[in-house]
Amino acid sequence: MRPAVLLSEPIHPDGRRLLEERAAVTVAASVDSAALLEHADRVDAVILRARGRLDRDFFRQAPRLKVVGRYGVGVDNIDLDAAAEHAVTVVNTAGLNAQSVAEHAVAMMFALARRLHRQDRAVRDRDWSARDALGGSELAGATVGVIGFGAIGRAVAAICHLGLGMRVLYHDPFRVTGADDGLAASPVSLDDLLRDSDVVTVHVPLTPRTRHLIGAARLRAMRPHALLVNVSRGDVVDEDALAAALADGTIAGAGLDVFAQEPPAASAPILSAPNTVLTPHSAALTEEAARRMSVGVATDVLAVLGGGPAARPVPHPTTTGSAT
């Protein structure tokens, strides 16, 4: 009998075709936990995207489950303890979306530094005089602070340093020796990074240790002209504290691709905060990255179902370092 694979949401067709060659594939009706749980007792594998969650109840009610594939990097929506207890392998697509996410982060830096969101609005409002006030500043020669120096953080550093001549600082207690080769990147404490950076960009997984890593006190430690970019997980940054810091000029601007609640509630303060560029958790969703992720996760899921090793197994949270 062909193994049964449940997709929480559709994935790129190239990956789905690989799965359908060797498995029976079903797409869940929704990403709600109840909708996913309806399939638990008859699936051998689940591929989960950023929405939806596999909690302890799912693993308890899924006796055939062998592998969970995360179409993406962050695994905060998978109960890794429960997976380990039920001998379920968890895989993700670490590194496969790094270039797309890095380019998105740098695009946000450019948009904020050159005030493109405000210039766009000025043209639509026929306020041509705004051109003299909204020129912004160059990134070349500025200092970028990278929090989390995994594959995405290093890709951001490469674009910033090799393409723009930016000075690179980074903070990552799990840094791999030699990870900064060719980037002239300097390891520093988090406090020093926040104090000395013109742009701070966040690339860490969401764990109890990193929840609200950037809160009110650390925002106050940043330079008044500094920009903050978060393309990792929404709860790594205290969103309400960030909205307040933008409103009172503690920092100059922020670009967010991720939010504490997705989509944000209509009343979320960050939606009305000034000098922001907000995108709908889309940094990894280029055509190129979507194809790489779908093929990568499908290949690993099929490998585990066939009794083989995975290329990108997810370690237990106690050993997890930078977002990659």
Which residues are catalytically annotated? 233, 262, 281
Tokens standing for 212?
């609200």
| Opening angle at CA 273, ends 229 and 52, nearest 5 | 60
Radius of gyration in angstroms for the set of CA atoms belonging to the chain, rounded to a whole number: 21
SS (H, E, C) the chain: CCCEEEECCCCCHHHHHHHHHHCEEEECCCCCHHHHHCCHHHCCEEEECCCCCECHHHHHCCCCCCEEEECCCCCCCECHHHHHHCCCEEECCCCCCHHHHHHHHHHHHHHHHCCHHHHHHHHHCCCHHHHHCCCCCCCCCCEEEEECCCHHHHHHHHHHHHHHCCEEEEECCCCCCCCCCCCCCEECCHHHHHHHCCEEEECCCCCCCCCCCECHHHHHCCCCCCEEEECCCHHHECHHHHHHHHHCCCCCEEEECCCCCCCCCCCCHHHHCCCEEECCCCCCCCHHHHHHHHHHHHHHHHHHHCCCCCCCECCCHHHCCCCC
- Cβ-based burial of 182 (10 A; exposed 0-12, middle 13-18, buried ≥19): exposed
Query: CA-CA distance, 182 to 165, in Å (whole number)?
Result: 12
Amino acid at 217: A
Query: CA-CA distance, 118 to 293, in Å (whole number)?
Result: 34
